[in-house]
Structure 1
Amino acid sequence: EFSLPDGSKIGFMPNAGIKQLLGDKFPDPAQAAGIPRAEIYLVVNDPLSYHQRALEAGALEIQSLQEMPWGDTVAYSLDPDGHVLAFAKGGE
């Protein structure tokens, strides 16, 4: 995880790490056939509404909104191109 000059953060995690975190609902990284995939982790005020919008637009739910061990409340979905969308609210 890296802090950017504007205060936002960017982090990188290999597909195998994402699969370990999210379990069987995440497609096997070997199935990507060389096509790069990514997780986009967005911290927003209302993660549930953003998650719902993604599902309505054709994303598949990986994990409903729940509190994670690091304190954020996060919902995960998979967009039609195989990218993970994470909508999160930071822990208080």
Structure 2
Amino acid sequence: MTAAVTGISAITLATHDMARAVTFYETLGFALKYGGADSAFTSFYAGSGFLNLIATDPDPDPDRPIQWWGRAIFYVEDVDAFHAKAVAAGLTPEFDPQDAPWGERYFHIADPDGHDLSFAKPL
């Protein structure tokens, strides 16, 4: 296996109110894959990729924009090899690759501007 990027998997957006966000995306026609209104993490099908929602701390003003923009998730051929390549190049991922309950092996890393990136492969 090589450490090549093979596609984009998902975009993950933060929300102060998961129930409100889930209702919004279901109303738009997104089909639920994982999670739901009472979850800390929810995933919807979006063609061959996914739209994910992640709960942030509740805000007294739920209409205030989220300060964290979200996370782009890229598929790679081999998550562990991609992680090792990043570490060997002197980069600092947030954690070692791990298996997620939603069916992916993944790790996160921030780019120099603080944008969150995730590199994953379906299990």
Letter in structure 2 aligned against 1:79? D
TM-score normalised by structure 1 residue count: 0.56
Is 2:46 the partner of 1:3? yes
- Per the alignment, do residues 16 and 57 of structure 1 end up closer, same or farther by CA in structure 2, a change over 3 Å counting? farther
Percent identity, aligned pairs only?
Answer: 25
The aligned counterpart of 2:102 is 70
**Aligned counterpart for 1:43 among listed residues 68, 75, 86:** 75
Shift of 1:41: 0.8
The aligned counterpart of 1:31 is none
Q: Identify unmatched segments of 5+ residues in structure 2.
A: 1-43, 58-65
Shift of 1:54: 4.5
- Per the alignment, do residues 53 and 81 of structure 1 end up closer, same or farther by CA in structure 2, a change over 3 Å counting? farther
Larger radius of gyration: 2
* Corresponding residue SS for 2:83: helix
* Higher-strand-fraction structure: 2
Find runs of 4+ consecutive structure 1 residues off by over 6 angstroms: none
The correspondence of residues 16-31 of structure 1 with structure 2, limited to 5 A, is 16=56
Provide the rounded CA distance (Å) in 1 between the counterparts of 2:72 and 2:83. 12
Residues 34-92 of structure 1 deviation map (CA, whole Å, 9 limit, x = unaligned):
8663301112211233334445375x32121011111211011111111111111101x
Q: Identify unmatched segments of 5+ residues in structure 1.
A: 18-33
* Higher-helix-fraction structure: 1
How many residue pairs are counted as aligned between the two chains? 71
Provide the rounded CA distance (Å) in 1 between the counterparts of 2:56 and 2:83. 23
Instruction: Give the root-mean-square deviation of aligned CA atoms.
Output: 2.8
